[in-house]
Amino acid sequence: MAIQTKITEHLEQVTNGNGEDYSSKDFSSDQDVRWCPGCGDYTILKQVQKTMPEIGVPKEDIVFISGIGCAARFPYYMDTFGMHSIHGRAPAISTGLKVTRQDLSVWIITGDGDSLSIGANHFVQILRRNVDVNLLLFNNQIYGLTKGQYSPTSPEGSSTKSTPHGSVDHPFNPLSLSMGADGTFVARTMDRDPRHMQEMLKRSHEHKGTSMLEIYQNCIVFNDGAFELFTDRKTRPREAIYLEDGEPLIFGKDDDKGIRLDGLKPEVVSLEDDSYSKEDLWIHDETDKTKAYLLSQFFDAPKPGETHMPRPFGVLYAVDRPLYEKGVQHQIDQALERKGKGDLNALLRGNETWEIK
Amino acid sequence: MAIQTKITEHLEQVTNGNGEDYSSKDFSSDQDVRWCPGCGDYTILKQVQKTMPEIGVPKEDIVFISGIGCAARFPYYMDTFGMHSIHGRAPAISTGLKVTRQDLSVWIITGDGDSLSIGANHFVQILRRNVDVNLLLFNNQIYGLTKGQYSPTSPEGSSTKSTPHGSVDHPFNPLSLSMGADGTFVARTMDRDPRHMQEMLKRSHEHKGTSMLEIYQNCIVFNDGAFELFTDRKTRPREAIYLEDGEPLIFGKDDDKGIRLDGLKPEVVSLEDDSYSKEDLWIHDETDKTKAYLLSQFFDAPKPGETHMPRPFGVLYAVDRPLYEKGVQHQIDQALERKGKGDLNALLRGNETWEIK
Amino acid sequence: MSQTSTEREEVTIRFAGDSGDGMQLTGSLFTNTTALEGNDLRTLPEFPAEIRAPAGTVPGVSSFQLHFGSKEILTPGDKCDVLVVMNVAALIANLSLLNKGGTIIANTSGFDSRNLNLANYEGDVSPLEDDTLSQYNVLEIDVTKLTKESLSESDLGYKDKERCKNMFVLGLLYWMYSRPLDSTISFLEKKFKDKPDIAEANVKVLKEGYHYGETTEVFSSRYSVKEASLEPGTYRNITGTDATVLGLVSAAHQSKLPLFFGSYPITPASDILHGLSKQKHFGVYTFQAEDEIAAVSSAIGAAFGGSLGVTSSSGPGIALKGEAIGLAVMLELPLVVLNIQRAGPSTGMPTKTEQADLMQAMYGRNGESPAAIVAPRSPADCYNMVFEACRIALEHMIPVMFLSDGYLANGSEPWKFPQTQDLKEIEIKFEPARTNGDGEKFLPYVRDDRFVRSWSIPGTKGLEHRVGGLEKEDLTGDVSYDPDNHEKMVMQREAKRDKIADFIPPQEVDNGVENGETVVLGWGSTYGSIRTAVHELRTEGMDVSHIHLQYISPFPRNLEELLKGYDNVLVPEINNGQLVRLIRDKFQMKAIGINKIKGRPFGVEELKQEIKAAIPSKSNA
Amino acid sequence: MSQTSTEREEVTIRFAGDSGDGMQLTGSLFTNTTALEGNDLRTLPEFPAEIRAPAGTVPGVSSFQLHFGSKEILTPGDKCDVLVVMNVAALIANLSLLNKGGTIIANTSGFDSRNLNLANYEGDVSPLEDDTLSQYNVLEIDVTKLTKESLSESDLGYKDKERCKNMFVLGLLYWMYSRPLDSTISFLEKKFKDKPDIAEANVKVLKEGYHYGETTEVFSSRYSVKEASLEPGTYRNITGTDATVLGLVSAAHQSKLPLFFGSYPITPASDILHGLSKQKHFGVYTFQAEDEIAAVSSAIGAAFGGSLGVTSSSGPGIALKGEAIGLAVMLELPLVVLNIQRAGPSTGMPTKTEQADLMQAMYGRNGESPAAIVAPRSPADCYNMVFEACRIALEHMIPVMFLSDGYLANGSEPWKFPQTQDLKEIEIKFEPARTNGDGEKFLPYVRDDRFVRSWSIPGTKGLEHRVGGLEKEDLTGDVSYDPDNHEKMVMQREAKRDKIADFIPPQEVDNGVENGETVVLGWGSTYGSIRTAVHELRTEGMDVSHIHLQYISPFPRNLEELLKGYDNVLVPEINNGQLVRLIRDKFQMKAIGINKIKGRPFGVEELKQEIKAAIPSKSNA
Ligand SMILES: Cc1ncc(C[n+]2csc(CCOP(=O)(O)OP(=O)(O)O)c2C)c(N)n1
Ligand SMILES: Cc1ncc(C[n+]2csc(CCOP(=O)(O)OP(=O)(O)O)c2C)c(N)n1
Ligand code: SF4
Ligand code: SF4
Ligand SMILES: [Mg+2]
Ligand SMILES: [Mg+2]
């Protein structure tokens, strides 16, 4: 910040750590973790605590901001700065914080209800503005904290406390919605794959802009096994595909399957017979918006005739676009250059004054 | 509704018109229209009043529900039922109305601020739920009623009352957002093309599901000429392309240009030299989601090297998907079949009772 | 050998254990049996704040309190006479709620070192081994072991067997309080009809527990509690939540309107949504909206279409509805808003009860925005008052706030339920169609003698009109910026709200005299505590009466006159003083607040003290 | 020939014409000149509700009223002495605001048949031709024609010439009231420096108008208004909106904090966002959020980071902020909420003024949720009170509501502006870093003697901590469901709010005596009308005094004592009675409301009548 304020003074005085020699323990707070035994949130907490020491940010410069929900209790367990705010508003709160404190590493923790139901407006707005924060969307396809109502990501027909005969709403596809909102970083991982999650967390941190990382999280109490197809060792090879930038789309156990593009239509091909080789496959390109959208569409139940597509994990889309807060800052700096630091006396005086004697 | 209520009784008594012999005059109310002289809203009002007689719905069965804004004053000028509600909430109000009154033809009138700023949550939710209403989004890329602040559709750098140095937010692409929210009908028209607008209004009415029709509307006072490239006779042929289902993508004056797909990449080709003919062109298919998304992306300023794409007008996407209100009704009907009409005395009595003598 | 049998007028039992120990079920089974025995009763469950806190820990403790007797019972009881604890955490969490000299039934296997650690219990030996519990009468029973033994024959798995242990405790208590087993047995058989072995096991253990009481020496005596002298009739047990659901369905039935319920889940209101979503065969539409604003907006949309539009939430969600409720005030459409209050401010303590949203209900909107307010006074009264909320909304075309709270929603009591023939009619009439003949303009804002405008729904020929949030012109409903019209409309909207007072029952003195020294004025869920406290104070010879409000906006016409009949007006509330402010403002009288803000109802004893303490200071004023 | 020159103590002029006629500019130019002449003054513009209603129609009329004099001027004047009407619509819309016998200056070319139709004027001849205006002194001038003639030489286009006609009127009035032209001329030359021909034309027409007065016989006399005896010093003219902008920038300057302003546009608050967005070189961050909820939330986020977080809106938008304001109450972070009130309920009458959001500010949140409330009493006072709002929020770590309204925001008055050396310091201190040495846990909810917790911002080593909307444990700030802790925290949050009373000035009697028969108690924008009315009543010999509140929550410590010094307490408000309720409740005294709900300020005359009417009824009570 070009202007000296109490904040800049304060930050000059405090000599912050260099954020190197941390262990994951340094990031666990003194609060007992209060999720249900076996909840997917535990492993996410663990991976985040493992990743923090590696991003090289002093922990006093890290802020976790959450809305409301089981997921949203997350900040209490991180020994950083944190705010457990109100339902759905974390992106708006984070925008105010990040715009004024660009020195901070801001992480949003939110659930599928928190950010795709009550908070969906703030969710799409922060994506289009591209504020440099990391948004971790814990998607368990259910409202956990309120004891099991369906959420905007619950599949049609979900029978839950509020839908005893099955839900009738068509669910959101969170990644397609993020693409539609012009997000600059759109990725997916799962609670049951710690290594991949850590990698995705690092990528989210590294990306300059709003990093939308969807995490498939198992709610063992109200929606157990929602993602089993992807998390279960047996079915995962068939149902999940891991994306690597610049690499062909290959999956299946012992990589026996690939995906190629027939015009606009993706199709699964076998790499066992010789009809297709790696060269024929779709090469993943994180910067290709159309491909990213197509990948986000590996989601709907396949229509008759269509081959069934595996669910993509990894970074679907990552591009740079000017940061909202930098744009704001730039205008302030410009104004300072053009007009010089504001002269309050002149402002108070205005253009036209007169004397009373 | 399978159950007899005061509403069903009431509707049986009233013998409604067949909605045939109307003239557009029958749809203009006794209120003086109060938009600025030359506002694009006038012509939209005119086209809607012209179209209503043709949709064959008795006017007492038509309801216009709006939020707040210049656009939102629209219902006052229609001699149908109407509600000028509160800012951004028209989709939610309409959902409650349509679910309980499936006999009505419900039209939502909203502005770019009303539905993409404060109302963006309800906007994406109604699209995913697919309630059978017609949403007319008057996009003038500005807040008109509040005298000229930028909106979520204003291009970056827009200098407005609230952004004297230019806006820094990246705007929404309303059609891509609608695709991302899994809308079932996504279309665009403009105030300056009455015939096309009338056609789009009819298509919106015919579509079963949430019909999202974006209308480019000129705000002569605060954002004059925002869409001139598309509305101006001279530039329109070059900058606008009209979509016809099953037809090749052709534009340009005397149809000299076409668009073909090179893999996933659309490119503009000339039809004058013989290198390309109509046969080589992209054939529009309203039911192809990927193509619809691609068309919605004919929007961003072209990156260097890319050929400049014309802005599409017409129906980009139209598919059938179960209606939210029908799903709700179906569950009620099912319950009635399974359990028979609810017996209140039994409900009051419950499972376990005892006598006190 | 024989045990004496002592008679008791009232007993309070508290079942406490781990969330997994089935204490809620145990409690409600004992409740049903006790109800069938003809006792009066009140129950209150207490759930942990977490969904499923780690087993064995203090935050993981779940409990259920039952207060029953042969006299009138109006509260779950301040403290309990018998405390059942399935593990040490349950003891730690609940000991303070046991009367001195009370009985503790402890499952010893829940006090092993593992459990001591989980509960991180300070002492180095189990509280059963040192003198921690010296002032209590402790019965140590290894329920887990006895349960397993009694099932040694069964081929159920370990877990399934273990799960039966709550039945042992239940059987034991049935013996202690001389209750029959049959209703519980038939319940178990119904519940597990597809798993006969499980049913059998549960029944066996239940009986085992009963016999254990009979055959062992551990109990000096058993107790009996006579029938209460309840009004003759047929009864059921009901919670506030269920009563609310039934009241809404009944109101829809009596007005012959479709019920549209638009809501967004929030503790402790969500269960109403759950309950209504099971009533689809009554033509009930439930809509889980994307947020509270959409929820109330959808209800307004439904009301515009002619349905009974209802929305529900708790404090924070109600705050979000304020703007839309204001729209309903302006549109003059019927709207029912249920606020199941919880401890605030902000997110506060979602699982704890409070009455602190009254001022929000009264004033939580911009501009002069009058709405009606009603409040139930007991779990069963939720039925009556939500019905009244609907009646007022529909007959007076106005938003009505229904102020219940977590304590009422989760509590239960015996209910002499009505049948359809006992229910009021709700008079609604849609404006009839107009034949195009008479060209004169339809006037949607013409009022009747109650200042109520017509309900003119879409689909009615000739009534095409537009409404909205801008100020309306009198009669025409057109937009108007006319200064005099605005003042007139503000006054008419208020007059319409105030006129409701002619269509509600006059205020009665619940207990006591019409003109006396002191009156205790309450509203909502404090009824049971106040009534009991005042009753006891009166028997102690004190000149104190009790008036309890169910209609808060508008007040009953005779309230001012009534209150002016006393020297002291005391207003106990589970907040920092809200009704008391309305009373002072409206009647310009000195009223004294008695306030408790602990997320808990008033205890009868503490309330008696507070009332005594408050009076002299007033009299010598 | 000579004209007499009469002296006047005060004059009210109303400029009225089509939105396109430039009446706002004309009015403000006359205002500046008049200010420079040393008169005291008040102005009030009135805009049409529509952005740009059709030309010539009544809804399209825009007007500007100026009240100036040699005595103290505190209102824009009930009615005007001179009414300028550029067309018939302007006459229809404003005639009722002209004093009987007043002067009308009518632009005859605005009264042709075309204009009569546009304005759909009933009469079949122009009101200038029949006796509609018989009680007034009408000057008919074909301003349009005279303007064009005077520009016959100029090669400007028709439209440009036509646009100069307001300068003719201005010149004429300058002559009538003996004002110099120079400041207007230099303004025009600055404004059109790139279009010298336009500048020239405007100046020419201005002078033409002045000479027209001098040379024609139409005016029986001209007037002079002497300097007012304003406090010596340097003055500027300022609107409430500009004063608010300056106050916020000043508070940021005096606290040495970045100002973060998160807002969503709404009439009449938007102009504050516009004004601040031009102050980027003061390090001001403006954020146009997607809605009011995001606006207030972003301000909370900024406050968490150590900035001065401010949000603004009007009634409906404030209703949406309630939940988030409750969060700020729980977080105990500084937050300033500006409510530029407008007529409600719901969307109401956005362009009309009202004071009906006081109760919402006080109670519009769930739970016990105390916030501070301040209210400016004049356009220039917006500067002082918004500064105070920031000071209180920052020094007491609490949300503060600033209740202005459309009347103050758009009105203007002369302002003896301060300079930085005159400004209070705002004392804030961020909690310092902790060296890892002392391992003991940082306690974010420890309070100082004002019950204020520390401001512990991210980036400070050793202060890592978590806050949130769940109830906080005393000292630690951890989540707590403990019953006693909850009551304690509720009380502490309230005590903190009440303690502010020690840090605001004691209440003074604005005019009158300390112990008397009657006091008129006002708040906010009614100051000017009340002060003038009370002043006049006192000169008429009535024992009435005036107390005006700028601090409403908490009240100044001495307010109760002050009020008890009078037999009658009258409370005039532009609402249906809100402050009066707070007074009755808090002080348990009989206070009488005087209410006007017409979207308009009190007129001095009507207020005098109301005060007189109210008193006896009270005395014989
Ligand atoms: C304004 C408001 N509305 C509703 C609630 C109740 N509520 C708390 S969390 C939640 C949804 C939780 O679902 P999700 O965001 O998916 O988080 P999860 O519990 O599944 O992790 C709801 C409805 C609230 N606390 N505040
Ligand atoms: C709750 C609320 N917030 C803000 C406003 C002020 N407001 C009215 S319309 C509007 C935006 C209008 O823009 P748009 O929706 O694009 O409609 P347009 O006027 O351009 O047709 C705003 C901010 C309001 N009336 N209510
Ligand atoms: S309810 Fe589900 S999401 Fe919440 S803590 Fe338990 S398991 Fe996890
Ligand atoms: S402000 Fe713009 S959008 Fe509004 S009425 Fe005028 S021209 Fe139309
Ligand atoms: Mg979830
Ligand atoms: Mg717009």
Residue D549's closest CA among D409, D377, D379?
D377
pLDDT at C376 over 80: yes
Specify the pLDDT at position D1: 42
Q: How far is B77 from chain D (nearest CA, A)?
A: 15
* D298 assigned to some structural domain: yes
pLDDT of A118 above 90? yes
Task: For residues C585-596, give the mean pLDDT.
Answer: 95
Q: Nearest C-alpha to atom 1 of ligand 2 is from which residue? A: D317
254-273 in chain B: CB under 8 A from chain A: 261, 263-265
D136 and D250: one domain? no
Distance C172 CA to ligand 2 centre (A): 67
Q: Which of B70, B152, B162 sits opposite D265 (nearest CB)?
A: B162
Q: For residue A125, what is the enclosing H or E element?
A: helix A120-129
Quote the ligand 6 centre to C451 CA distance (angstroms). 38
Contact with chain B for residue A342, Cβ under 8 A: no
- For A64-80, give one letter per residue: b (16+ CB within 10 A) or e: bbbbbbbbbbbbbbbbb
| Average pLDDT value over all residues in chain B | 95
What is residue C540's three-state secondary structure? coil
Rg of chain D over Cα atoms, rounded to whole angstroms, equals 27
Question: Residue C8: which of C66, C69, C54, C63 has the closest Cα?
Answer: C69
Q: What is the pLDDT of residues C516-525, one digit of tens each?
A: 999 999 999 9
The answer for A275, left when phi > 0, alpha when psi is -120 to 50, beta otherwise, is: alpha
Judgement on whether residues D29 and D168 belong to the same structural domain of the protein: yes
Q: CA-to-CA distance for C597 and C149, rounded, in angstroms?
A: 47
Predicted local distance difference test score (pLDDT) of residue C619: 45
Q: What does the pLDDT average to over C453-468?
A: 97
pLDDT in tens, A77-101: 999 999 999 999 999 999 999 999 9
Name the residue of A34, A39, A138 to mutate for ligand 3: max ligand atoms within 8 A of Cβ: A39
Q: Residue B20 above 70 pLDDT?
A: no
Residue D327: half-sphere exposure toward Cβ, Cα within 13 Å: 30
pLDDT in tens, D95-107: 999 999 999 999 9
Which of C156, C191, C224 delimits the end of a domain?
A: C224
Same domain, D182 and D301: no
Q: Do the Cβ atoms of B355 and C297 come within 8 Å? A: no
Mean pLDDT over C405-411 rounds to 96
Specify whether C217 is located in the same domain as C308: no
Does residue C455 lie in a domain region?
A: no
B6 to chain C: which residues are within 8 Å by CB? 255-257, 306, 428, 430
Distance (Å) from CA B141 to ligand 4 centroid: 11
When pLDDT is cut at 50, 70 and 90, the band that residue A301 belongs to is low
pLDDT band at C1 (very low <50, low <70, confident <90, very high): very low
Q: Express each pLDDT in B190-218 by its tens digit.
A: 999 999 999 999 999 999 999 999 999 99
Residues D217, D246, single domain; the answer is no
Rounded Cα distance between D549 and D532, Å, is 16
Neighbours of chain D (3+ CB pairs under 8 A): A, B, C
Averages of pLDDT over runs of 10 residues in chain D (621 residues) are 78 94 94 93 86 85 96 95 96 95 95 92 88 92 94 90 95 94 94 93 95 82 90 95 98 98 98 98 98 98 98 98 98 98 97 97 98 98 98 98 97 96 96 78 96 98 97 97 97 98 98 96 98 97 98 98 97 98 95 96 96 71 40
pLDDT at residue number D222: 86
Does D277 map to a domain? yes
CA–CA dist C228, C232 (Å, integer): 11
Q: What is the CATH number of the domain that holds D215?
A: 3.40.920.10
Tally the domains of chain D: 3
Q: Give the domain extent around D545.
A: 509-619
The residues whose Cβ lies within 5 A of ligand 6, an ion, are B 111-112, 140
Are the C-beta atoms of C327 and C296 separated by less than 8 Å? no
CA distance C73 to chain B (A): 16
Tell me: do C214 and C244 sit in the same domain.
no
- Do D260 and D205 lie in one domain? The reply is no
Distance of residue D376 Cα from the nearest chain C Cα, in angstroms: 19
Q: How far is residue D518's CA from residue D514's CA, in Å, rounded to a whole number?
A: 10
Q: Is residue C218 part of a domain?
A: yes
Q: What is the pLDDT of residue A20?
A: 62
D179/chain C closest Cα distance in angstroms? 35
Rg (CA), chain C: 27
- Shared-domain flag, residues D252 and D213: no
Q: Which of A201, A181, A202, A35 is nearest to A121 (CA)?
A: A181
φ, ψ for residue A11 (rounded to 5)?
-70, -30
Residue type, A357: K
Last residue of a domain, one of C224, C251, C272: C224
In A, residues 156-215, which contact B (CB 8 Å cutoff)? 165-166, 168-173, 176-182
Residues D243 and D349 in one domain: yes
- Within a domain: C84: yes
- A18 pLDDT exceeds 70? no
- Helix pair angle (C165-176, C196-215), 10° resolution: 40
The pLDDT, as a whole number, for residue A275 is: 87
Which of C422, C447, C482 is the last residue before a domain boundary? C422
Regarding an ipTM greater than 0.85, the answer is yes
Domains and CATH numbers, chain A: 24-247+285-318 (3.40.50.970), 248-283 (no CATH)
Average pLDDT score over residue span C44-69: 88
- Cis geometry, peptide bond prior to residue D127 (ω within 30 degrees of 0): no
Band the pLDDT of A306: cuts 50, 70, 90. Answer: low
pLDDT at A305 over 70: no
**What is the tens place of the pLDDT at every residue in A131-177?**
999 999 999 999 999 999 999 999 999 999 999 999 999 999 999 99
Q: Quick one: which of C67, C63, C83 has its CA closest to C133?
A: C83
Specify the residue for token string 């066996």: C204
Q: Are residues C93 and C164 in the same domain?
A: yes
Would C437 be classed as within a structural domain? no
Give CA–CA dist D361/C432, Å, rounded: 42
Beta strands in chain A (DSSP E): 62-66, 81-84, 105-111, 134-139, 185-190, 211-216, 240-242, 250-251, 257-262, 265-270, 311-318, 353-356
Contact between B157 and A331 (Cβ < 8 Å) = no
Burial of B228 (0-12, 13-18, 19+ CB in 10 A): middle
Q: How far apart are CA D79 and CA D74, in angstroms?
A: 14
CATH number at residue C324: 3.40.50.970
In B, what residues contact D, Cβ < 8 A?
32, 34-37, 68, 70, 86-88, 117-118, 120, 143-147, 149-150, 152, 161-165, 221
What is the average pLDDT across C496-520? 97
pLDDT in tens, C204-225: 999 999 999 888 877 777 899 9
Cβ atoms D306, D457 nearer than 8 A: yes
Please indicate whether residue B274 or residue A322 has the higher confidence score (pLDDT): A322
Q: Who has greater pLDDT, B306 or D36?
A: D36
Task: Indicate whether D486 belongs to any domain.
Answer: no
D363 and D220 both lie in a single domain: no
pLDDT at D254: 98
Give per-residue pLDDT as tens, C232-273: 999 999 999 999 999 999 999 999 999 999 999 999 999 999
Whole-number pLDDT of residue A208: 98
Q: In the predicted model, is pLDDT for residue A64 greater than 60?
A: yes
Question: What pLDDT, on the 0 to 100 scale, is given for residue B356?
Answer: 87
Residue D354 lies in a domain: yes
Question: Is C187 in the same domain as C293?
Answer: no
Q: What is the CATH number of the domain that holds D557?
A: 3.40.50.920
Q: How far is CA C165 from CA B312, C43, C201, in A?
A: 70, 22, 10
